Amino acid sequence: MTNEDTSPLVFDDPNITGLRHIRLNNPNKLNVLNSAQQEIIAAAITVAQYDSAVSCLVFSGEGRAFCAGNDIITKAKALPEYRQHQVDLEIGSGPIGLHDLITKIRNFPKPTVVLMQGFALGAGYDIATSCDIRIATSDCKFGDPRVHRALWAAEGWSYKITRLIPQSYFSEMHLRGELLSGEYAMEIGLVHRTFNPDIDLRESASEILRHLASLPGKSYAMAKDSLLRGLDLRFEDLQISTRSHPAELNYK
Amino acid sequence: MTDIQISQEGPRLKIELTRPDHENRLTYEMMLSIRDAVLRVNTDETIRVVTISGSTNLFCAGEDKDTLGEWPSEFSGRGPLGSHGLPPLPQQEMISALRSCKKPTVALLTGKVAGLGLDIAAASDHRIATEKTIISDGRIQNAEHVATGITHILPRLIGLSQATRILLLGDELTAIEASRIGLIHAVYASDDFTDEAARFIDKISTLATRSYSIIKEQTIEQLDMPYEWALKHSLAIRQTNVIEDRAEAAAAFKEKREPKFSGR
């Protein structure tokens, strides 16, 4: 047992102004996430939201995989703030922490990108489907195998996927727990770019990351907000809500 | 007005954007002309298809805030001055009218489609294009406001993931790529486009128009309803609409011939 620090790394890109990285750093375990790591990520997101120097947030993982899911072996205790929500059954702390995390990512008012190589499963998949832009290696395995572990998948993909891509693809991926390749995910529209697996995705994606980091932030935030709200609003209500949009949103 | 031509050709209402020196960008006057024409069509039995088109190699590049023209008098009192400019009321009303038009609507995409031009295309029922068509949004890139309702329409047409790609990432899509993701229904070579489009429009204009409009109303309104409500909504629509062409359809079926619909 080593005491190597496996906490996610949070740092600014040396070459692209405004780009902040959150990089999972537990490569020996394919970057599976425990609740303490989720907490670190959530805190880093809050900091990035209010840091005017940050114009784009990118999630990635060290090593062979982006993220193979939640750490279901070393069950971390629920964090203090969630204890009162804990269900007293033998099912652990439940997904409350992960709910908070992916909701923060989803509502983040600046561009969010995920870079996926190897695997993006379970919690990794939840993070990916909460980002604006998904970039993968062509051989990346992508999806949610929780059905095969006799687990729930209570993190909102049943809502998100049916809105991200046409519903007819849904049963194949989710009900059967089939994994998609990056290439196929691109074909059905879930992934926006695929790249050669032999090259570091940060390098392959640098052009698109630079582009996203340079966009006018306020305009982006307004459009993103109305895209996400628009999923749950009637057409007329969305039109009305966007009329007063610019005055309400006041971040750069 | 020379910026837009609106004319009737048989059962077809033709809306042509004719402002090529400004890449067919819309003025307030053009927006309201489109709105009014489309609203009138709803109660005009002689019209059974509406088409919106641009020039040979250009559909519509959106709007240009410096050449929108005078704020329309009907909106006086609804355009408070502020740092974020005038509200997009004329844009919204045009898109709403198109989206809820009771007749089939076809956008004929030839060349550049951007910004408000994308909204017009997306609010139409059918989008057919030349192979040279390029679709993009561009509003975020120009730090503009996206507030026409496109953020409601586009995710429902092609999914949120691809809508994000167009609106937030700002990808420019070729006609082939737009067709691959389901945004465009047919792509034709530029040389054949006029003939193919005419065939497409003729076919739509001979459908049972009343039936079409009821199904369209159901589909669009039910996008925002829970499933159980949608069933009740369908029932209510069925009980309160008469389709005269049903008799002709039954007769044609019996006589083994093509039906000739009146559109009523």
Is residue A177 within 8 A of residue A234, CB to CB? The reply is: no
Nearest CB to A219 within list B87, B145, B153 = B145
- Given CB atoms, is B147 within the 8 Å cutoff of chain A? yes
pLDDT range class, residue A111, cuts 50, 70, 90: very high
Question: What does the pLDDT read at residue A248?
Answer: 41
- Is A164 in Cβ contact with B89 (below 8 Å)? no
Nearest alpha-carbon partner for B173 in B103, B165, B107: B165
Interface touch A227/B99, C-beta < 8 Å: no
Report residue B94 as tokens. Answer: 């045009």
Q: Read off the pLDDT of residues B115-170 as tens digits, 9 standing for 90 and up.
A: 999 999 999 999 999 999 999 999 998 888 889 999 999 999 999 999 999 999 99
B51-64 per-residue burial string, b: 16 or more CB within 10 A, e: under 16: bbbbbeebbbbbbe
Distance separating alpha carbons of residues A126 and A58, to the nearest angstrom = 15
Phi, psi dihedrals of residue B21, rounded to the nearest 5°: -70, -15
Nearest CA in chain B to A246: B84
Q: What percent of chain A has pLDDT over 70?
A: 82
pLDDT band at A84 (very low <50, low <70, confident <90, very high): low
Residues of A in contact with B219 (CB under 8 A): none
**Is the Cβ–Cβ distance between A202 and A115 less than 8 Å?**
yes
The Cα A218–Cα A189 span in angstroms is 26
Is B92 within 8 Å of A234 when comparing Cβ atoms?
no
What whole-number percentage of chain A has pLDDT above 90?
62
> Hey, what are B214's tokens?
């009821």
Containing A195, the helix (H) or strand (E) segment is strand A193-195
The pLDDT confidence band at residue B238, using thresholds 50, 70 and 90, is: confident
Q: Do residue B96 and residue A236 have CB atoms under 8 angstroms apart?
A: yes
A132 in contact with B at a CB cutoff of 8 Å? yes
- Note the pLDDT tens digit of each residue in A129-182: 999 999 999 999 988 777 666 666 667 778 888 899 988 787 767 767 778 899
Flag whether pLDDT at B86 surpasses 50. Answer: yes
* pLDDT band with cut points at 50, 70 and 90 for residue A251: very low
Report the residue from B84, B143, B151 with minimal CB separation from A230.
Answer: B151
- Partner-chain contact B84 A246, CB within 8 Å: yes
Average pLDDT over residues B88-92: 94
Residues 6+ apart with CB under 8 A from A83: none
Mean pLDDT of A207-213: 97
Q: B90 with B28: CB under 8 angstroms?
A: yes
Across B109-115, average pLDDT: 97
The reply to whether the predicted model has a pTM over 0.90 is no
Best of B78, B81, B140, B227 to mutate (most A CBs within 10 Å, chain A): B140
Chain A environment of B161 (Cβ under 8 Å): 134, 164-165, 189-190, 192
pLDDT for the residue A244: 67
Q: 3-state SS string over chain B?
A: CCCEEEEEECCEEEEEECCHHHCCCECHHHHHHHHHHHHHHCCCCCCCEEEEECECCEEECCECHHHCCCCCHHHCCCCCCCCCCCCCHHHHHHHHHHHCCCCCEEEEECCEECCHHHHHHHHCCEEEEECCCEECCCCCCCCCCCCCCHHHHHHHHHCHHHHHHHHHHCCCEEHHHHHHCCCCCEEECHHHHHHHHHHHHHHHHCCCHHHHHHHHHHHHHHCCCCHHHHHHHHHHHHHCCCCCHHHHHHHHHHCCCCCCCCCC
pLDDT 10s digits, B16-51: 999 999 999 999 999 999 999 999 999 999 999 999
**What pLDDT is stored for residue A87 in this prediction?**
55
Position B78 scores a pLDDT of 85
| Mean pLDDT for all residues in chain A | 86
Contact B153 A235 (CB under 8 A): yes
CA–CA distance, A130 with A59 (Å, rounded to integer)? 11
Mean pLDDT check: name the lowest of A101-115, B8-22, B77-91, B107-121. B77-91
Q: What is the pLDDT of residue A101?
A: 92
Choose between A230 and A70: higher pLDDT.
Answer: A230
Q: Do residue B160 and residue A215 have CB atoms under 8 angstroms apart?
A: no
Please tell me the distance in Å from A246's CA to the nearest CA on chain B.
Answer: 6
pLDDT value of position A82: 63
A189 and B164 within 8 Å at the Cβ level: the answer is: no
Is the Cβ pair A132, B145 closer than 8 Å?
no
> How far is the C-alpha of A122 from the C-alpha of A129, rounded, in Å?
11
pLDDT the model gives residue A72: 63
Q: In the beta sheet, which residues pair with residue A67? A: A120
Give the nearest partner residue to B145 out of A166, A222, A234, using CB atoms: A222
8 Å CB contact of A220 and B168: yes
CB atoms within 10 A of CB B31: 26
Question: How far is the C-alpha of B212 from the C-alpha of B217, rounded, in Å?
Answer: 9
Q: For chain B, give the mean pLDDT.
A: 94
The tens digit of pLDDT for each residue in A17-58 reads 999 999 999 999 999 998 889 999 999 999 999 999 999 999
Q: Which residues of B touch A224 (CB under 8 A)?
A: 168
Q: Say what the pLDDT of residue B77 is.
A: 84
**What is residue A115's three-state secondary structure?**
strand
Higher local confidence (pLDDT), B234 or A73: B234
Query: What does the alpha-carbon distance between residue A45 and residue A40 come to, in Å, rounded to a whole number?
Result: 9
Chain B environment of A163 (Cβ under 8 Å): 155, 159-160
Contact A128, A137 (CB under 8 A): no
Interface ipTM > 0.90: no
**Residue B203 backbone phi and psi in degrees, to 5:** -65, -45
* pLDDT score at A83: 60
Cβ distance of A223 and B182 shorter than 8 Å: no
Report pLDDT for A252: 36
Alpha carbons A150 and B248: distance in angstroms, whole number: 56
pLDDT of residue A247: 43
Chain B residues whose CB is inside 8 A of the A190 CB are 161
d(CA B14, CA A13): 53
